[in-house]
Amino acid sequence: KAGVTQTPRYLIKTRGQQVTLSCSPISGHRSVSWYQQTPGQGLQFLFEYFSETQRNKGNFPGRFSGRQFSNSRSEMNVSTLELGDSALYLCASSLSLAGEGEQYFGPGTRLTVT
């Protein structure tokens, strides 16, 4: 069974631009969660989608948004990029809601904002 895949793996953007990251969950998983990982703040929960509905959201500004498609693939969008958005963005999928059981993580997308 294929694991969680994230594209692209690396991305360099300029301040003020926007970016879209993609996540393909494990087949059969209906939940996709997104996390931001930085050396200073550690791992922070962005949001979770389950069956195309946002089920939970962390404390991030509205510049961070996401969506999930009917095939469970998910995208995350960050608008008006800031230097502080440079981070590793991880996606995780699970059969049930993220807080209820095991999550399977992708390798992440490394975003650098210059």
Residue 57 tokens read as 């959201």
Binder among 15, 54, 101, 112 for other proteins (CB under 8 A):
101
Contact 104, 94 (CB under 8 A): yes
> Of 24 and 81, which has the nearer Cβ to other proteins?
24
**x/- site string to other proteins, residues 34 to 73, per CB under 8 A?**
-x------xxxx---------xx-----------------
Question: With contact defined as beta carbons under 8 Å apart, do 27 and 43 qualify?
Answer: no
> Does residue 8 have a cis peptide bond before it, meaning omega lies within 30 degrees of 0?
yes
Q: Helix, strand or coil for residue 87? A: strand
Of 6 and 72, the one with the shorter C-beta distance to other proteins is 6
Pick from 23, 76, 78, 90: which binds other proteins (CB under 8 A)? Answer: 90
**How many whole angstroms separate alpha carbon 94 and alpha carbon 19?**
25
- Binding footprint of other proteins on the chain (CB under 8 A): 4, 33, 35, 42-45, 55-56, 90, 92, 97-108
